[in-house]
Structure 1
């Protein structure tokens, strides 16, 4: 009887020890507003994350990128899923760092013109109107502006800049109302491929970027280093289930075919260059907010 009591006590002690090691973390996603959308679109990811780490993750809804930064700085959120442009500013404001990159396939941008426009080089765009997407977007504004700069054109002073939605920019280019558009290449191709009445060679990609830095999971500066490393290791070791959780909802189809990789802050220096060429060299404010 005493032996059973000892064994039972030992088992309870072991369970208590494991429970004591488990952590509860707050998790935010910068481009998803409202708790209902978080649960619907990222709930499977959260469940996979909890299974992989043994920790508990609670959603923390943010209604803007600024709110995410403030929550990290106030230590009310611990981990944030975000994009490259958002990360550069959040890192400057809070010292949060990336732990896992969400490697999106074919994540690059392009400058597109009409094939009959007579525009054959980026230099030919000087003085012309170029349509970009959402202000502050990595792939729909900052990246195509950087592509222009990489080819020797000042995206602030050498062109007329217009911001509009991708579909409107596409229609404007098709009708000759703008001279070029800068966009996420894959997203623009989806719009282009729906134009079944146009000949294949109606548009031409004038220039394109290399693959862009990854979206990421970042960790707040207040989270102990060993705890952040443990979460990082658990995600990498269980990447198949984590990826399945992220891509479970159709809103996250952009991640289909993705990989999860370890990543460092220096991977985002190219994005910092984008901010500078777009006229925001301090990258300490969210463009468009």
Structure 2
């Protein structure tokens, strides 16, 4: 959306206004790039941030940054896996069968269809070097695609032997294929699932005082009931408290990323050079 690119805070405006009213203090928004995230939270320049699971996992001693709440979309659980799919008639039966094959991933910064996907492959003995890699745009790169439909189309066309799609996007596909080549789930087969992760996490600065932290957390947890109209532009239905298991799964992303990077000869072998800003 070009307008959102010009004003990335537009969808947050209603939530910002509601939060300012409820907390009786001005809430300001800012764009925070990954390299700024930790120092800005540690110094208290930012009181809170909306981050992806991999951004949270990469924080040094992430436990120091309280997770205030976790958002969920309408009718969705707060965590979902990515699914590894192959054509329904594919001879591939297991993850291990993908050695030497092309695998389609989601966007490079995506926590589920990139990072958790690489974790799944590594758990089955496959590193980046074990896959058939791309010549363009960079020789030796993974095949990244912008969304689930592109991944599914790539898999069905034979351009990739398998691909990773978010479970939520998978469920949005029709159960059966339709006329004019419409894609249905019956054309594909799920052979594995990644770890289940949230879309985002709302985290706090360690310098935020306990009373304010409690008020901010209370606002988010009640927002689905008290300010549903403010959540709608963000496609969020509610916020929930995180479980210890959820946080441990998120933090494990960075541990596995380091192991996989070492196995591939360096961090840049798996890590994209850019990441989406936190907000």
TM-score, with length taken from structure 1: 0.71
Q: CA deviation at 1:60?
A: 1.5
Q: Output one character per residue of 1:39-70: Cα deviation in whole Å (capped at 9) or x when no partner.
A: x20111112222333332111233x3334445
- For residues 41 and 221 of structure 1, what CA distance do their matches in structure 2 show? 27
Q: CA deviation at 1:144?
A: 1.8
- For residues 215 and 271 of structure 2, what CA distance do their matches in structure 1 show? 30
Which residue of 1 is the match for residue 95 of structure 2?
122
Q: Output one character per residue of 1:202-233: Cα deviation in whole Å (capped at 9) or x when no partner.
A: 21111113532462111112222332233223
Structure with the largest fraction of strand? 1
Cα 1:65–1:243 change in 2 (3 A) is farther
- For residues 77 and 212 of structure 1, what CA distance do their matches in structure 2 show? 25
CA contact (8 A) 2:85 2:163 kept: yes
- For residues 164 and 200 of structure 1, what CA distance do their matches in structure 2 show? 19
Q: How many residues align?
A: 248
Residue of 102, 114, 131 corresponding to 1:159? 131
Tell me, yes or no, if structure 1 residue 173 matches structure 2 residue 161: no
Which residue of 1 is the match for residue 70 of structure 2?
101
Cα 1:44–1:212 change in 2 (3 A) is same
Q: CA deviation at 1:245?
A: 1.7
CA contact (8 A) 1:236 1:260 kept: yes
CA contact (8 A) 1:110 1:185 kept: yes
CA contact (8 A) 1:112 1:182 kept: yes
Which residue of 2 is the match for residue 72 of structure 1?
41
- For residues 62 and 185 of structure 2, what CA distance do their matches in structure 1 show? 46
Question: What is the RMSD of the two structures over their aligned residues, measured on CA atoms?
Answer: 3.3
- For residues 263 and 51 of structure 1, what CA distance do their matches in structure 2 show? 29
- For residues 146 and 220 of structure 1, what CA distance do their matches in structure 2 show? 29
- For residues 176 and 273 of structure 2, what CA distance do their matches in structure 1 show? 30
Larger radius of gyration: 1
**Helix, strand or coil: the match of 2:83?**
strand
Q: CA deviation at 1:78?
A: 1.4
Cα 1:47–1:279 change in 2 (3 A) is same
TM-score, with length taken from structure 2: 0.73
**Helix, strand or coil: the match of 1:279?**
helix
Which residue of 1 is the match for residue 241 of structure 2?
261
Cα 1:213–1:186 change in 2 (3 A) is closer
Higher RCO (CA-CA < 8 Å; seq separation 6+): 2
- For residues 200 and 82 of structure 1, what CA distance do their matches in structure 2 show? 31
Cα 1:181–1:238 change in 2 (3 A) is closer
Q: How do residues 139-288 of structure 1 correspond to structure 2 at under 5 angstroms?
A: 139-150=112-123, 152-160=124-132, 161-166=142-147, 167-190=149-172, 196=178, 197=181, 198=183, 200-213=185-198, 215-246=200-231, 248-249=232-233, 252-253=234-235, 255-256=236-237, 258-263=238-243, 265-266=247-248, 268-276=250-258, 278-279=260-261, 287-288=272-273
Q: CA deviation at 1:87?
A: 1.3
Which residue of 1 is the match for residue 137 of structure 2?
none
**Helix, strand or coil: the match of 2:84?**
strand
CA contact (8 A) 1:172 1:178 kept: yes
In structure 2, the gaps of 5 or more residues are 133-141, 275-279
